[in-house]
Amino acid sequence: MGTRDGGKAFLDAAGGVAAVTRKEKTVAIATINPATGETLKTYDEMSEADVDGRLAAAATAHASYRLTSFEDRARWMRRAAGILDDEQEQVAVMMTTEMGKTLTSARQEVAKCARACRFYADHAESFLADEAADPDAAGVESAYVRYQPLGPVLAIMPWNFPLWQAMRFAAPALMAGNVGLLKHASNVPQTALFLQDLFARAGFPTGTFQTLLISSRRVEPVLRDDRVVAATLTGSAAAGQSVASIASRVIKRVVLELGGSDPFIVMPSADLPEAARIGAFARCINNGQSCIAAKRFIVVDEIYDEFARQFTEQMAAKVVGDPMDRETDVGPLASEKQRDRIEKQVADAVAKGAKVLWGPPRLTAVASIIRRPCWPASPPTCASTPKRSSARLPRCIGSATSRRHWTSPMAASSDWARMRGQATKRRRTGSSGILLPG
């Protein structure tokens, strides 16, 4: 995919698309603790021969794995769930160390992955059972739809939920008889390698699930390889466009889960204290780094000031600190690049007329262990953000992490209203939304 500067467009570590010149820099595959800035582990990229060997192993494994029974796959998947249960603390600490999510939320993520393993172990066979069709319509004695495995599937996953994003692909894909190739974000290599080891220890045949330690610029050749039959990506719209474009040229199936700019709409009949409490929680999920977090807070004028006050109080009460501490609500952002981006968005909004309701200076130290942190200010909250600012939130309460665009085809909304009519009318006129009672 060409660019104007003659370079290549490729998927960056967070699932976006980056452009580089011909003098490409090597992307570090490393664990860098965002709470301290300390580089804990670094990994060399796999050679072309190593990648080819893994693709060959995936194709070989699928030839026999596709014939295994649901009973066998379910047994291995339940073992994987058991390993996650037994090693929950170690895995949670690993995720927190790699990308900064609070240890509490990391433990919840591990438990959620174990539940997913058991869910698909229990239900995959019924989900994929033959479906009867009308034989008369086809002029035959019997007709049915049968679901069969596809083959090796490439998964390009982001860092924000490093275990869950990969598991929600891996569990159903493996139970369906496919094999997996994981290209994870470059800042969570330990989690990526753990997933490969997890399924091997659970008993899945060799080559059934493998991790590719490669930079994002090397994704395209893998996606084009004939041994890869499909791909899935969780990331930005730009990343989805890139993958879909490549896959369409070689006629391969693609599943995309792309980011949006989700509105949180507060109507006059809403329970304001509850809406403010849930709104602050929804904004700060995963240190504010979640595709389903509330991003645009749109409030009806007559309740705007009161909601702004209560929402600001809730945000100010959030404890920003060491992600390993049980009392911490918000840990560091995943990288210094992420932190700097947020600060620029806040500055841009303020320069164009926004009023900062809450947000102290950048935290330079939160605990004695923190030396070179990726901490933002305590969750910044802006009001009446100008339409042309980076945090484009007309007549609303906005966080600095808000996306640039007012609308997004991938956005989902939360509507807070006690009166069914208000929320229903909003749903009829809006293009997307999730209705939540106030």
Cα dihedral value 131, 134, 138, 140, nearest 10: 90
Handedness of CA 168, 171, 177, 180 (dihedral sign): positive
- Angle in degrees, 0-180, between the axes of helices 103-127 and 88-99, rounded to the nearest 10: 120
378: alpha, beta or left? (left if phi > 0; alpha if psi -120 to 50): beta
| Residue whose tokens read 């929402």 | 311
Q: How far is CA 180 from CA 126, 176, 206, in A?
A: 22, 11, 11
Strands 381-383 and 396-399: antiparallel
Question: Could you tell me which of 371, 368, 213, 385 has the C-alpha nearest to residue 298?
Answer: 385
Pure H helices in 48-207: 48-65, 70-86, 88-99, 103-127, 135-138, 164-175, 189-202
Question: Could you tell me which of 438, 314, 342 has the C-alpha nearest to residue 399?
Answer: 342
Which amino acid is residue 23, in one-letter code? K
Distance of CA 174 to the CA centre of its chain: 20
Contact at 8 Å (CB) between 100 and 334?
yes
Distance of CA 110 to the CA centre of its chain: 15
Q: How far is CA 61 from CA 68, 166, 177, 229, in A?
A: 11, 20, 10, 14
Residues 6+ apart with CB under 8 A from 110: 84, 88, 91, 92, 95, 163
Q: Which residues are catalytic?
A: 257, 291
Q: How many CA atoms lie within 13 A of 434 on its CB side?
A: 12
